[in-house]
Amino acid sequence: MKKWNLIILATLACGLVMTGCGKGKEETPSEAVAEPVIEVVTDQSPTDAPAAVEEESREGMYRSELTNEWIDEALKNQRPIAAMIDNEKTALPHYGVSEADIVYEITNSTANDGITRLMALVKDWGSIEQLGSIRSVRPTNLQLIPEWNAIICHDGGPFYIDDYLANDYVNNFSGGFSRVDNGKSREFTEYILAGDLEKKFSSSKYTQEYNDYYPGPHYQFASETSPVDLSSDSEAKDVSDIQLPYKHNKPSLEYNAEDGLYYYSEYGSKHVDPGNNNQQLAFKNVLLQNARYVVFDDNGYMMFHSIDYDREGYYITNGKAIPITWSKAEELAVTQYFDQDGKEITLNTGKTYIALIPDDIWKNLELN
| 245-268 average pLDDT score | 98
Please write the tens of the pLDDT for every residue from 121-131: 999 999 999 99
Cα dist from 94 to 25, 88, 154, 250, 353, whole Å: 96, 10, 15, 17, 16
* For residue 16, pLDDT beyond 60: no
* For residue 267, pLDDT beyond 90: yes
Q: What angle do CA 164, 170, 175 make, to 5 degrees?
A: 90
Strands annotated E in 16-169: 61-63, 70-72, 81-85, 102-107, 116-122, 130-132, 151-154
Instruction: Give the separation between CA 146 and CA 334, rounded to whole angstroms.
Output: 8
One-letter identity of residue 51: A
Instruction: Give the separation between CA 150 and CA 39, rounded to whole angstroms.
Output: 64
Please write the tens of the pLDDT for every residue from 35-87: 444 344 444 444 444 444 456 789 999 999 999 999 999 999 999 999 999 99
3-class secondary structure per residue, 79-116: CCEEEEECCCHHHCCCECHHHCCEEEEEECECCCCCCE
* For residue 116, pLDDT beyond 90: yes
In this predicted model, which residue has the larger pLDDT, 30 or 261? 261
Indicate the pLDDT class of residue 17, thresholds 50, 70 and 90.
Answer: very low
Instruction: Give the separation between CA 317 and CA 306, rounded to whole angstroms.
Output: 23
Are 320 and 236 spatial neighbours (Cβ–Cβ below 8 Å)?
yes
* For residue 10, pLDDT beyond 90: no
Are 169 and 330 spatial neighbours (Cβ–Cβ below 8 Å)?
no
Instruction: Give the separation between CA 200 and CA 172, rounded to whole angstroms.
Output: 10
pTM: 0.85
Nearest to 292 by CA among 307, 311, 305: 305
* For residue 238, pLDDT beyond 80: yes
Under DSSP, the state recorded for 221 is B
pLDDT at res. 57: 86
Contacts of 76 (CB under 8 A, 6+ apart): 62
| 125-143 average pLDDT score | 97
Nearest to 326 by CA among 362, 295, 298, 299: 362
